[in-house]
A and B are shown apart, each in its own frame.
Chain A
Amino acid sequence: MSGLTEQPTEQLSAQGPTRGDELSGMYGPENKADVVIIGAGPAGLSAATELRRCGVQSVVVLDREPVAGGIPRHCDHYPYGLREFSRLLRGPAYARRLVVAALAAGVRIHTGVSIQSLTIGPVLTVTSDAGVRVVHARRVLIATGARETSRAARFIGGTKPGGVVSTGALQGLVHLEGINPFRAPVVLGTELVSFSALLTCRHLGIRPVAMIEPGASTTAFWPARWLPRILGIPLLLKTELLTIEGESTVSGVTIRRPNGDIERLNADGVIVSGHFRPESAILARSHIELDRHTGGPVVDQFGRCSDPDFFAAGNLLRPVETAGWSWQEGKAVGHAIAQSLQGKLPSPATGIAVELAGRSLKYVVPQRIVPTDVPPALDSFQFRVSHKAQGRLCLSINGTRKTVKSLSTVPERRIRVPLTVLPRSPSGTATFELVESDR
């Protein structure tokens, strides 16, 4: 499998993505770059392109996959690209365009490279077919994205037969390898990606027997919720998936219906979809501070991590947003990195912490704010709630509390509050809380 197979155009292939086996010396004689970007998805590629546009000399993108482009590569459906290219594209075409844009801007992309460690310097150790190498940079952007929560981590009971997959694995099987893992699976979850799973199934004539959602309504909004009806797939709300049955492959599942009845459904597979979480494994074994709410790194309004030589953007910050959103964010953080190289960003030491109170808010990004006149890369606080809730979103600073806005929302719906809600020179801690109203 060559990194060149999805080369967008002939003329670019000469300087196209390089496989890791050619890593030796590819960053120059000493394996150095101004900026190393980890992850060739929408956020990483747009940041890289922006850094080159800002005049940064050597910008290197590393990706562990054999082909650059990230998750959209195996999302073979619309809508992608309107914001970025003013064109309606399918995922794979969109991914190719991102790569073309980065290469045209002079970005170097190396695929088949896996990051093993991040240390102060910044210094990275990477591994590829060539074995372990050390890479030095002036700044590092981590844009490793998100993945779905596994069946195991969700404590779903039963046996462990073949045919239980995440949407990511399913799309990889179907779109990258043309493998059809089942005929009649159940789909667990109703996030956007769960409906994407339905489309993927349709692609190969796989007919899901039911879509199962523990909540009272689908997590994703219209028009997604009409899709099962259009496809003739029963949508079972307020229903729990209890156990998975089968020996070598799935033979069925048991579910608990809203009235408490336990039923068995015949199925030959299970798609365990959604519940995204940041792919932050390399951070967990580094010196960089992680936020236990998002599962990603703690960042300031420039996407800057606790070690200010490291930045983060895209779904690593907060699962999960669209490709277009991640692209926009990558571009903005790329710009901030260029400013940082020019010494234009304020010292991180003067920042204040942004925290959460109560249980209704699931996370907030960014988690630190540095008082400055420099325009931010992340211009608003982003929140999600942990359950369907309505009430007042309040902000407390130094014992003074004010209402920021009224909310009536559900999990997975984006909530934004502009950074300007903070005073110009905040001190202490800024604490957000959703005070729920009685219903």
Chain B
Amino acid sequence: MSTDHRSSQFDIAVIGAGVIGCAIARQFTLEGARVVVIEKAPDILDGASKANSAILHTGFDAPPGSIEASCVAAGHAEYLKIHERLGLPLIKSGALVIAWTESEEQRLPMLMERARENGVEDVQLLSAGQTHELEPELAEHAKASFIVPREYVIDPWSAPYGYLLQGLANGAVIKRNCEVKGGCFDGVRWKLDTVQGQISATTVINAAGLYGDIIDQKLTGSTRFSIKPRKGQFIVYDKPASALVKHILLPVPNDVTKGVVICRTAYGNLLVGPTAEAQDDRVNAALSETAMTALRQRGEEILPALADHDVTAVYAGLRPATEFKDYQIHAHEGLNYITVGGIRSTGLSSALGTAKLIYQRYLESGEAFQPPATIHWPKVSNIAENYPRDWQCEGNQGIVCHCELVTRREITEALEGPLAVRSIGGLKRRTRATMGRCQGFYCSAELAKMTQPYFDAAGSTVRSHVGAN
């Protein structure tokens, strides 16, 4: 690859501000590169990254030897290393992989063996009695389980936001509402045509998630994979339900899916999901009453006491699966172009590890940058339940969203901060406003009033920021 950085505006252009793009932007910036992140949506995390199970996986069940396995392991380790400095939460829950039938019970030793192959040595087999001792609300017919102590719950939005925020604090640039139309490589650098004009960078990294194959086509004329979106629907229970479990409850996975998970969220709710449904549409993650009812039923089969609890929210996400099992990471020879595609459901866990791997790949044909003398560590304002929150502090200007205890000061900061939100979705992900049990019954009017000047200035319409629940 060319190393003529002086003549180009940016060293690296990252296409896509999902969790992977945010982590890559951070990595390259901290290595000393001038990075631009290009996102077609009004806000970051608006594609595949907006809906997932919010778990920091160890990678115990990944195919041994896969890129995914090594990225998840490295991502897990890196998150533990940096989360406190960035102010990112960690709920040390641990996970139980639970066998409900005899045949599932027979598969537990094999899964534990795979975990050890993946470097997750601390798994431990538990009898039915031991399992119920750890999780007293679990349905009686659980046969056995094994515990994966280092599977944790994290905040799926604060984490990537924190990664990008640190990138920006150290010199990276973000361009939102900036779809890439095409581009060409002149042998030295890329000229990307975007709806906001031309952007020049020495190297392009395609982290376009659900559009990874399309971006490959547009820029290189070919692609080695095609995205086959897999939809996952989730139901979220009201906060009192989170008292019913301590661990992440995982089923014994099959070939198609990891199955329905039950876990607490960082915000103090209880999550049941996902489904795994193939579809062609890359945009619409439609919910179906049948699937939601089935999830509710499955949840009650696992935790009978859930029958007495209310569902607060429902959502669906699309994972950018491909025809291949593993991640699709390709450095294109002589083209200063790296594809980071097919990052399926493990993207949140693997992101920091994937970013490290991409930097290694870059170094194989490019030259190292000069890291900055000082690295800034901005702290993300916390929205997780068990860490100090703004409503507990003086001068918070009162609460706007009472279900999620979001203060006026938090909303104003999100609207005005260095990575100011530009859509109601962005505001919800940043502050959790309207995401609680009343789903905006109470605070929609106030939020619409507060956001209107900001969103209208960003070219949004009032209708699109009212009551997107």
Contact = CB atoms under 8 A, between A and B. Distances in A.
Interface of A: 20-21, 64, 66, 112, 114, 116, 127-132, 147-148, 150-153, 155-166, 168-169, 172-173, 176-177, 179-182, 242-243, 247-249, 268-269, 279, 281, 284-285, 292
A340 B438 CA distance: 34
Contact of A181 (B239, B287, B462): B462
B465 interface: yes
Nearest to B313: A152
In this complex, the interface size class of chain B, counting residues with CB under 8 Å from chain A, is: 35 or more
In the A-B complex, the 8 residue pairs with the smallest Cβ-Cβ separation, listed nearest first, are: A172-B445, A150-B439, A169-B444, A165-B467, A248-B464, A131-B394, A162-B468, A162-B464
Interface in B270-294: 283-289, 292-293
Contact of B445 (A116, A158, A176, A249): A176
Nearest to B395: A129
A165 B402 contact: no
Nearest to B295: A155
Contacts of B63: none
Nearest to B391: A127
A179 B452 contact: yes
Contact of A169 (B238, B310, B440): B440
A261 B398 CA distance: 49
Given A129-B396, A131-B396, A162 B439 contact: no
B328 interface: no
Contact of A292 (B292, B308, B448, B461): B308
A155 to B, nearest CB: 5
A225 B380 CA distance: 52
B441 A148 contact: yes
Nearest to A243: B286
Contact of B402 (A114, A164, A249): A114
Q: Which of B286, B392, B405, B469 has the most CB of A within 10 A?
A: B469
Nearest to A151: B469
Given A64-B399, A160-B469, A169-B441, A129 B314 contact: no
Given A150-B469, A152-B312, A169-B440, 11 more contacts: A114-B402, A128-B399, A155-B287, A159-B285, A160-B315, A162-B424, A163-B468, A173-B466, A179-B462, A249-B463, A281-B403
B168 to A, nearest CB: 26
A172 to B, nearest CB: 3
Contacts of A150: 312, 437-441, 469
Contact of A165 (B397, B440, B449, B461): B440
A285 B466 CA distance: 29
B287 A158 contact: yes
Contact of A147 (B314, B397, B442, B452): B442
A166 B403 contact: no
A153 B466 CA distance: 18
B289 A177 contact: no
A166 B395 CA distance: 31
Nearest to A277: B310
Contacts of A132: 391-392
25 contacts: A114-B405, A127-B391, A131-B395, A151-B439, A155-B311, A157-B289, A157-B292, A158-B287, A159-B284, A159-B285, A159-B287, A163-B466, A165-B466, A169-B442, A169-B466, A169-B467, A172-B442, A173-B466, A177-B445, A179-B445, A181-B467, A243-B288, A269-B463, A281-B403, A284-B239
